[in-house]
């Protein structure tokens, strides 16, 4: 098929240049014909959260024939500064004398209550060992906890990804928050990053009263909230007392 005799797919496209266009005279004539075609270029800037793009739209005889995006580096004025501090990281001054209960978030779903008990025992044992030289001082405060509840999905047999723990003092709660905030769980099947926040219900008595009349439709006592008396500190392995009842 002769390309000069066939109709182009785009009626607004420039004329087809054959091998004959290599001749200077023919090439000059073709350039004059192409210059008669009106070409309009429209620029439009728009921004995203990460980059600033320039949208270029070209029009031939009033119709758009090309649309492309060109990346441009953002100016310093366009960059949103990071927050001064993370809202999820509890500051030490937030743990006052009555703030001792924490909520642990982003827990691997395969963890059970016994797994958290082992983690809490290890943490308390390490903290109490660090400060063992200060044990004889009157202001010595041990890391201990006396309440734990890991909500479970009874149908799947997996936890819901969060837990409530009450420490005996605000100092112990603050130590745990500093140690486990943004902690990467050492689990091969989970990439969750731990977060620690202050629980809405504070204190062992308040937590125990909140769950004591609750009915849990499960078949295992290990799914119920537990209270430890005396508190566990990593060395004393107190037996758990269940809170609530199974139905």
pLDDT in tens, 56-74: 555 555 555 554 554 555 5
pLDDT digits (tens, 9 = 90+) for 86-142: 445 444 446 677 789 999 999 999 999 999 999 999 999 999 988 556 655 667 789
The mean of the pLDDT values for the chain is 76
pLDDT for position 78: 45
Q: Is 190 exposed, middle or buried (0-12, 13-18, 19+ CB in 10 A)?
A: middle
Q: Residue range 193-198: average pLDDT?
A: 94
Q: Side by side, which strands form the sheet with 101-105?
A: 195-198, 101-105, 162-167, 145-149, 226-232, 240-242
pLDDT digits (tens, 9 = 90+) for 129-174: 885 566 556 677 899 999 999 999 988 889 999 999 999 999 999 9
pLDDT digits (tens, 9 = 90+) for 6-58: 565 776 666 665 555 555 665 666 566 655 544 444 445 555 544 554 455 55
Which residue in the block uniquely carries the two structure tokens 């921004």?
47
Please say whether the beta carbons of 99 and 170 come within 8 A: yes
Beta strand residue intervals within 95-206, DSSP E: 101-105, 145-149, 152-153, 158-159, 162-167, 195-198
pLDDT for position 92: 44
Kindly report the CATH number that applies to the domain delimited by 101-132+140-246: 3.30.70.330
Question: β-strands 63-72, 52-60: how paired?
Answer: antiparallel
Distance CA 246, CA 223 (A): 9
* pTM, full prediction: 0.61
């Amino acid at each position: 098929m002769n390309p000069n005799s066939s109709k182009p797919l785009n009626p607004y496209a420039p004329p087809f240049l054959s091998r004959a266009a290599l001749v200077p005279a023919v090439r000059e004539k073709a350039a004059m014909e192409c210059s008669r075609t009106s070409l309009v270029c429209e620029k439009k800037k728009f921004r995203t959260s990460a980059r600033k793009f320039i949208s270029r739209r070209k029009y031939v005889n009033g119709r758009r024939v090309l649309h492309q995006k060109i990346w441009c580096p953002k100016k310093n004025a366009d960059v949103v500064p990071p927050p001064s501090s993370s809202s999820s990281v509890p500051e030490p001054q937030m743990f006052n004398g009555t703030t001792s209960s924490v909520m642990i978030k982003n827990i691997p779903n395969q963890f059970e209550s016994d797994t958290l008990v082992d983690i809490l025992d290890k943490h308390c044992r390490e903290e109490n060992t660090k400060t063992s030289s200060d044990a004889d001082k009157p202001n010595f405060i041990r890391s201990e906890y006396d309440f734990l509840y890991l909500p479970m999905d009874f149908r799947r047999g997996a936890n819901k990804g969060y837990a409530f723990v009450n420490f005996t003092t605000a100092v112990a709660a603050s130590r745990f928050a500093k140690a486990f905030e943004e902690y990467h769980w050492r689990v091969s099947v989970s990439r969750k990053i731990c977060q620690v926040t202050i629980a809405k219900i504070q204190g062992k008595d308040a937590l125990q009263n909140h769950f004591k009349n609750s009915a849990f439709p499960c078949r295992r006592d290990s799914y119920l909230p537990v209270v430890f008396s005396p508190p566990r500190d990593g060395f004393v392995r107190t037996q758990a007392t269940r809170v609530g009842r199974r139905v």
